[in-house]
A and B are shown apart, each in its own frame.
Chain A
Amino acid sequence: MKANHGTSKAGRRTVRPAKSRSTKWLLRLYVAGQTLKSVTAFNNLKIICEEQLKGQYSIEVIDLLKNPQLARDDQILAVPTLVRKLPVPVRNIIGDLSNTERVLVGLDLIGHSA
């Protein structure tokens, strides 16, 4: 997975593109190893975020294989799962995020752009 990232914990990689503006969007992507689906999901998410939320987001990627306990704590079943931690309310999107429109609906972004 490519991105400039600062590692906070094993298995967690944080993407912080801009520090100047306050981060309004906190997104977490749960994956299980470097599968095709998880790589696709990350890339799709990256593109969407760059288009819609440039400078306002941070992405945390969590590999459940390395940190299985988190699956329980965060109630993750399906993989990949994207969780919008902030802004509240929490929203979940599952899948490789290939359907951009559904991602935007899931993130509640369609209202913003339209």
Chain B
Amino acid sequence: MSETDTQSQRKTLLKSRTNIQGLDEITGGGLPKGRPTLVCGGAGCGKTLFAMEFLVRGTLDFNEPGVFISFEETEKELASNVASLGFDLNDLLRRKKIWLEHIYIDRGEIEQSGEFDLEGLFIRIHHAIESIGARRVVLDTVESLFSGLPSPQILRAELRRLLRWLKTKGVTTVITAERGQGELTREGLEEYVSDCVILLDHRVNDQSSIRRLRVVKYRGSTHGTNEYPFLIDEDGFSILPVTSLGLNYSSSLKRISSGIPRLDTMLSGKGYFRGSTVLVSGTAGTGKTSIAAQFVEAACKRNERVLFFTFEESAQQLVRNMRSIGINLEPWMKKGLLRFHATRPTHYGLETHLTTSIKLINSFEPDIVVLDPINAFVSGQNQTEVKTMLLRLVDFLKMKGITAFFTNLTSADESIEITDVYISSLIDTWLLLRDIEFGGERNRGLYVLKSRGMEHSNQIREFKLTNQGIDLLDVYVGPGGVLTGSARLSQESKDDAEQLLHRQEIVRQQISLERKRKAMEAQIALLRSEFEAEESQALKVIGIDKARDERFTHDMARMAKSRMSDVLTKPARTVKNGKGIRGSTR
């Protein structure tokens, strides 16, 4: 590497933004400006498309014209290929924004005699760059040179010279190369292109394909090191970096009703958090979709928009089934508040599902998104992939403040908690539906397994589907265990009878108490009247005594008067105030 190169690297690395969805996030701003980037991958992994989008977006979004040197496809083929992605290449060619040049090499026609160099190629690239003032250059599968021309040693040296020369031209270059056995590229190009290497991969797992992108190396810059799934669709490339979403979304304090009053009560009386992720899991036929539908109906009644992804039923079937439990979704569909999107999970790969979902969400702008059910994606051992997909979807929804509602079918023979452990961490509110088999019947139970950020009931509720919608009932919890259904009913009526008896007993006791009180009061009255009688008798005697006393005193005084006594005798007074009188009353 030359001296100037090392010097320029000490400066902050300049980057050319690509505007390829997601790529700039992963690379921290784009591809290294004025340097070559190697894009390698197997056949059909999207190298050419990547390169073309780099050029087209470069000229459209950043006004940097580009040269596309194609060693494989002709100009016509290229133009028609990218037309399917919505790029009007012919228009860009006419306006001299893009220069397409097909380099045709046919090994069969070429004989070598003595030394040669690739000055012809240099001249062509130079001419192309000068013609439109290009800032970006693509060499699509430059390795075709090796199959087309003899003498690999010369070619290697010339390629090295070409890359150095492109650097001095200051054009940002993308070089594509076939993936080789055990090496990144078939001809070891990664040795020459040392600035940035991007690996594209196209895998098929369980009959569905996944495309992935990885930045193998980016000299002088940090970059995302993961494998990022990407998609190629009518809008070109879209890479979905997991990390770029991150955990920096704001959380709403607003609550929304679940549509089931008793369930709201279980969730501290207010329902789910807006923008949270709700999971309803349960075994087959426990009413997961019904809970979802009830939630949807409640949301539509609040005039909110709902996007319902259904992976097992068609929209019509779902609407019909929900009508049987008194939930009519059709008016909301007609009103445009509710949209169904029904696809089979096997229809396309996880990444495509994710990206189409995100696209639909972006265009419909719902308040609530329902996925019914998420386990439909799990096939074989792809739980990690499903989790990554859901993680990205959840992050995306949270960033947008959209409430997510997932249902999940769990298999009966495994513990529910274990089955769902791979997504548990993503879920804010987790409702569990289970069937309770007892006394020859099967009933549904519901409880809140977890609900982040709110107080929630720890009680199990009996969950009933009526033609009026969903109803939650208390289950019978007694010495006989948890009882539901008719067992609960019979136990309840037994309890009622017992209670009646008990109440009667109380009434009886109350009556007898009253009777006792009455008896006691009667006795008190009797005693009082006896006492009164005695008292009056006593008072009478006292009266007589008094009168007698007075009479006696009076008599004494008269007697003294008649005897002309000068002093009134004292005994009379003593009798009146002292013991004398009491003694006399006895």
Residues of chain A whose beta carbon lies under 8 Å from any beta carbon of chain B: 30, 32, 35, 37, 40-41, 44, 64-65, 68-69, 71-72, 75-81, 89-100, 102-103, 105-106
Contact = CB atoms under 8 A, between A and B. Distances in A.
14 contacts: A37-B115, A44-B114, A72-B101, A72-B124, A77-B121, A77-B149, A79-B117, A79-B120, A93-B111, A94-B110, A95-B112, A96-B115, A98-B115, A106-B113
Interface of B: 101, 103-105, 109-124, 126-127, 145, 149-150
Contact of B111 (A30, A41, A71, A102): A102
A30 B120 contact: yes
B109 A77 contact: no
Given A35-B119, A76-B124, A79-B119, 13 more contacts: A32-B119, A40-B114, A64-B120, A68-B124, A72-B127, A75-B105, A77-B103, A77-B120, A78-B117, A79-B118, A92-B111, A95-B115, A102-B112
Contacts of B120: 30, 32, 64, 71, 76-79, 81
Given A32-B120, A64-B119, A79-B119, A69 B114 contact: no
Given A30-B120, A32-B123, A64-B119, A98 B104 contact: no
B74 to A, nearest CB: 11
**Interface residues of B, dominant DSSP:** mixed
B61 to A, nearest CB: 28
Interface-centre pick from B110, B118, B126 (highest chain A CB count, 10 A): B110
Nearest to B111: A106
A8 to B, nearest CB: 20
Given A77-B120, A77-B121, A68 B127 contact: yes
Contacts of B113: 93-100, 102-103, 106
A32 B273 CA distance: 72
Contacts of B105: 75, 77
Contacts of A44: 114
A32 B118 CA distance: 10
B109 A94 contact: no
A46 B162 CA distance: 31
Chain B CB within 10 A, most for which of A44, A78, A105: A78
Contacts of A80: 116
Nearest to A41: B114
- Across chains A and B, which 4 residue pairs bring their CB atoms closest together, nearest first? A106-B111, A98-B114, A95-B114, A68-B127
